[in-house]
Amino acid sequence: MHVCVYCSSSTRIAQGYSTAANSFGAGLAQHDWTLVYGGGSYGLMGAIARSTHTHGGKVVGVIPQSLLAREVGYEQADELIVTTTLRERKQIMEERADVFVTLPGGFGTLEELLEIITLKQLRQHTKAIIIVNIDGFFDALLQQFARILEQGFANKEILGFDDSEGLDRLYYIVTDVDEAIGLLSTLNKSLFES
């Protein structure tokens, strides 16, 4: 399974987030899942890539030339795809992924998350989306999602919560990386073992 991860490139964040990214990278490697991510070497992006590698996993980075030129690319990636634009980067990440996971991040991470949710809502893809709400990082965003639904800006049926297996919902919310790895295991069985 190829797991696309959206997350921060900031080096100014609390250590707990990096610890979580390290644990998540180890979990990916232990399950023999490939990391697909934005190709950076700093922040949570770098932490998850290095941890995946350290634990014997495979890393696919996708990075625009403009960022690679600033020497922030993770050159040790098993495959480092260099794109011309950010839009091309996102398209390749989407195509290579079987599932999407969002860890805490800034504006770029939120933009990636909202785009992939919107594309699923519009039935441009059917891949699972997991939001890892570490230490309540996404609480305010999830409250805004609820407000959007409550006020009729989106149809509540898009969430798919009537599905008994829970496998067709728009997105999943978990609170830590262990829960995310457990959900990925369930999704992996659904995708590849049925």
Question: pLDDT (tens digit, 9 = 90+) per residue, 137-161?
Answer: 999 999 999 899 889 898 877 665 4
pLDDT on residue 166: 45
Element (H, E) at 67: helix 65-68
pLDDT on residue 62: 98
Q: Strands (DSSP E) along the chain, which ranges?
A: 2-6, 34-37, 59-64, 79-83, 99-102, 128-132, 172-174
CATH 3.50.50.60 fits 2-189, yes or no: no
* Residue 124 CB contacts under 8 Å (≥ 6 apart), including other chains: none
Contact status, residue 2 vs residue 60, Cβ threshold 8 Å? yes
Written as six digits, the tokens of 13 are 């964040």
Beta strand pairing call for 99-102 and 79-83: unpaired
Contact status, residue 48 vs residue 37, Cβ threshold 8 Å? yes
Q: How many CB atoms lie within 10 A of CB 101?
A: 28
What's the whole-number mean pLDDT along residues 46-70?
Answer: 95
pLDDT on residue 160: 57
Place 168 in a pLDDT band, splitting at 50, 70 and 90. Answer: low
Place 167 in a pLDDT band, splitting at 50, 70 and 90. Answer: very low
Domain ranges of the chain: 2-189
pLDDT on residue 22: 98
Q: Report the distance separating Cα 192 and Cα 173, nearest Å.
A: 22
Higher pLDDT, 168 or 86: 86
- 3-state class of 31 per DSSP? coil
Instruction: Give me the residue label for tokens 């599932």.
Output: 99
pTM of the entire predicted model: 0.94
What's the whole-number mean pLDDT along residues 167-193?
Answer: 89
